Amino acid sequence: MRSTRDVGEEEAGAGMGHYSDPPLLVLASLAGGPKHGHAMIEDIAGMCGTRLGPGTLYGAIARLEQLGWIEPLPAEERRRPYRITSAGLRVLGAKLATLQQFAQAGLGRLETS
């Protein structure tokens, strides 16, 4: 017999993990305004439940900066905030549109099944 806890975990997608695409999560976080590393981690955790490790976060930051999708702002003490660029906003918009399309298609299939 399944307990209510089992059902609850299944409904929450237990075992499937959180959504994790670090560069996309960083872009989405910075779309809400400039942030430094710690603020990004907290914001992303609040947004989707994924808590990025510091290495993962800075791996994503370094790559996004090289691609010109985010840019550093002047350091505040020893912390450096980053902001999303216009190119980053375009990429984020395109990626989220694709995800939305995917989610709609998936939800539509669930309704018909």
What kind and span of H or E run contains 28?
Answer: helix 22-30
90 binds another protein (CB under 8 A): no
Count the helices and strands in the chain (H runs, E runs): 5, 2
The least CB distance from residue 51 to another protein, in Å, is 9
Cβ 30 vs Cβ 82: under 8 Å: yes
**The residue type at 37:** G
Show the tokens assigned to 89: 């906003």
Show the tokens assigned to 49: 């439940």
**Among 26-34, 70-78, 92-100, 104-112, the segment contacting another protein (CB under 8 A):** 70-78
17 binds another protein (CB under 8 A): no
Q: Which of 12, 14, 73, 75 binds another protein (CB under 8 A)?
A: 75
Interface with another protein (CB under 8 A): 36-38, 41, 53-59, 61-63, 66-67, 75, 77-80
